[in-house]
Structure 1
Amino acid sequence: MTLQLGRHAFADDATLMMAIVNRTPDSFYDKGATWAEDKAFERVALVVSQGAEIVDIGGIKAAPGVFIDEAEERDRVVDFVARVRAEYPDLVISVDTWRASVGAAACEAGADVLNDAWGGADPELVDVAASYGAGLICTHTGGVTPRTRPYRIEYDDVVASAIADTVAYASRALSAGVSRSSIVIDPAHDFGKNTFHSLEVTRRLGEMVDTGWPVLVSLSNKDFVGETLDLPVGERLLGTLSATAICALAGARIYRVHEVAETRQVVDMAWTIAGRRPPARAIRGLQ
């Protein structure tokens, strides 16, 4: 399905790199490396040069920590969104927030997509996306409270739950006025899930793709990778790329990543093996 993300359209055979830009001092991965605005802007320039079609700007880390109110979250992301929009008019800007008020301010500043990592915790976020013609990422979290870790969550079938919840969220967004071509679903690896759940979602991702909604995966350096391989954050790239290849073979469209160039190569290779993308060149045995 053709994707319309704000003012930007992508053909149905396009895969997209969504580069993570953390406006936080306490990110689990970069430990605040892009907390300073100029450092965050350098990160944007780098990922754009590497071919990222989307940047995902977040002002609050997902894990538990210091409470960040709406005013502080706006301060961290809104002016930065405006700066990125002014410099990169053709770049898709996503904002990682579950709060409608922050989403509205970000869209006013030029954001194209609202990435709701907490599965509709603020029911008014769909109305904001509809009002601004923004894209919306609909995630599955099993109903957990934002910024809490899962504890002994059980599912009869985690993939069935992910499909039911994200498709219901997508349908609610559609009813609110969000364009069908602007809605994406995300199983949300690790969110409301233990490692076995995330592995099963990865293994059966094709079932989510078969719903007809474009699928986003956020795999980069996640705990399910670390626990599977017994590796700390910072040593999970190969495991992340292995999981990425599985999701790409299944047909995921958007990849939320820390490492843009490496992920692009893996996704292109997997999509070519699947027959969805031609080789960049094919002269062996022909010349």
Structure 2
Amino acid sequence: MSKIYWRAIPLNDPARSEGAQKIAGGWLWFDRVEKLTRGAEPGIVPLSEVPADVLAQITAPRPDMAGLNLSAPRVMAILNTTPDSFSDGGKFSEREEAISRARALAAVSDILDIGGESTRPGADLIARGEEIARTKPVIAALRHEGLTIPISIDTRKSHVADAALEAGADLINDVTAMEFDPAMVSLAASSQAALCLMHMRGTPETMNGEAVYDDVLLDVYDYLEARRDAALAAGVRPDRILLDPGIGFAKTAEHNLALTARLSLFHTLGCPILYGASRKRFVGTIGQEPVAAERLGGSLAVHLAAVAQGAQVIRVHDAAQMTQALRLWQAIATA
């Protein structure tokens, strides 16, 4: 029998139907579900046809994670301490520049995501010692001066994550979902740090050649389900897991659009969703803007579309502008 996938169809209209339920205890509601199976046309069914355990996964409020209350969308600000990131490489690679930028971002965002290795297409692997030298002192300095905002370490290496946690990080953001470094899962379990698992095929060096799927939405869902289950089996608490479909990682523009349009499917996995498309190539292609740093308008558009699908954490370069846009979006949604 073919596997059935259940996608809550999200709404935020002030006229709410009788019997509607909230998605993940958040700002959206739904009164019907899209029923998906491989190789068949999707159908729309009432809530009464959805298995009770599936409905419970979709509707259960997501617990606080890394100090973040997820009943409203949160902004994760990107801080790259790298010389070669695709959009802002080299801008904040010096320690004092990175610390100054972190202070500014902390004032306009909910969580900082600090990375010391570029994951842009074609980027090279760097030594873990170098990555630690780029990230740990920045985190330690921020904590020493009393900055309390949650901090995420963006790394695929357990030694780098361990050093960051020691310095005061709260969340491990692993773009390989613990597949690059198998020791990452034991670190996440023993430290009880929050853990973000992202979908990617191949490595940054090879991923452009890996963008081939039978059904990108369902293939990414199955992968994240399997990686979530692997984390749970290793002892990571379910309330510490965040899932990211990996927009732009081994995906074409069409794949990114398909994932964004039906992002609410991932609520069925019972974990918060992180969505990051800031300044990415498909935003420039569709928005007709070749310069990454000039893609603010397109980035805001796709991230608000993700919020309208219930994404709890939005990862962006332009944190102040995203926070402003979210305030307006939420004011309209709750009017």
Q: What TM-score does the superposition give when structure 2 sets the normalisation length?
A: 0.77
1:227 aligns with 2:285: yes
- Work out the CA distance in 2 between the residues paired with 1:153 and 1:171: 24
Contact 2:80-2:89 within 8 A present in 1 as well: no
What letter is aligned with 1:237?
L
Cα-Cα RMSD = 1.7
Contact 1:249-1:271 within 8 A present in 2 as well: no
- Work out the CA distance in 1 between the residues paired with 2:327 and 2:269: 22
Q: Could you tell me which residue of structure 2 aligns to residue 177 of structure 1?
A: 235
Contact 2:123-2:204 within 8 A present in 1 as well: no
1:133-177 superposed Cα distances (whole Å, 9 cap, x missing partner)? 211111111x31244341262111111111111121112112222
Contact 1:85-1:93 within 8 A present in 2 as well: no
Change beyond 3 A, Cα 1:188–1:66: closer
Contact 2:171-2:193 within 8 A present in 1 as well: yes
1:75 aligns with 2:136: no
Equivalent position to 2:316, from 237, 240, 257:
257
Aligned length: 271
> Secondary structure in 2 aligned to 1:21?
strand
Equivalent position to 1:58, from 115, 124, 132:
115
> Which range moves more in the overlay, 263-272 or 14-23?
263-272
- Work out the CA distance in 1 between the residues paired with 2:328 and 2:267: 19
Contact 2:197-2:228 within 8 A present in 1 as well: yes
Within-5 A mapping of 1:94-243: 94-120=152-178, 121-141=180-200, 143-151=201-209, 153-232=211-290, 233-243=292-302
- Work out the CA distance in 2 between the residues paired with 1:171 and 1:208: 14
1:76-126 superposed Cα distances (whole Å, 9 cap, x missing partner)? 111221112222442111010001111111111111101001232222212
> Secondary structure in 2 aligned to 1:4?
coil
Q: Could you tell me which residue of structure 1 aligns to residue 65 of structure 2?
A: 4
Contact 1:95-1:106 within 8 A present in 2 as well: yes
Contact 1:97-1:116 within 8 A present in 2 as well: yes
> Secondary structure in 2 aligned to 1:196?
helix
Change beyond 3 A, Cα 1:159–1:125: same
Contact 1:85-1:91 within 8 A present in 2 as well: no
Change beyond 3 A, Cα 1:67–1:132: same
- Work out the CA distance in 1 between the residues paired with 2:185 and 2:64: 17
Q: What is the CA distance between 1:66 and its match in structure 2? A: 4.6
Q: Which runs of 4+ in 1 moved over 4 A?
A: 271-274
Q: 5+ unaligned residues in a row in structure 1: which ranges?
A: 280-287
Q: Which has the larger radius of gyration?
A: 2
What letter is aligned with 1:43?
R
> Which range moves more in the overlay, 57-66 or 33-42?
57-66
Contact 2:276-2:303 within 8 A present in 1 as well: no
Change beyond 3 A, Cα 1:181–1:271: farther
Q: 5+ unaligned residues in a row in structure 2: which ranges?
A: 1-61
Change beyond 3 A, Cα 1:88–1:171: farther
- Work out the CA distance in 1 between the residues paired with 2:172 and 2:296: 26
Change beyond 3 A, Cα 1:239–1:11: same
Change beyond 3 A, Cα 1:163–1:41: same
Q: What is the CA distance between 1:19 and its match in structure 2? A: 0.6
- Work out the CA distance in 2 between the residues paired with 1:73 and 1:146: 16
What letter is aligned with 1:69?
A
What letter is aligned with 1:155?
Y
Q: What is the CA distance between 1:218 and its match in structure 2? A: 0.7
Q: What TM-score does the superposition give when structure 1 sets the normalisation length?
A: 0.89
> Secondary structure in 2 aligned to 1:172?
helix
Change beyond 3 A, Cα 1:152–1:58: closer
Q: What is the CA distance between 1:272 and its match in structure 2? A: 4.9
Change beyond 3 A, Cα 1:12–1:36: closer
> Secondary structure in 2 aligned to 1:174?
helix
**Matched-pair identity in %:** 35
1:19-56 superposed Cα distances (whole Å, 9 cap, x missing partner)? 11111112211131101111111111111122x12111
> Secondary structure in 2 aligned to 1:250?
coil
> Secondary structure in 1 aligned to 2:250?
coil
- Work out the CA distance in 2 between the residues paired with 1:109 and 1:223: 33
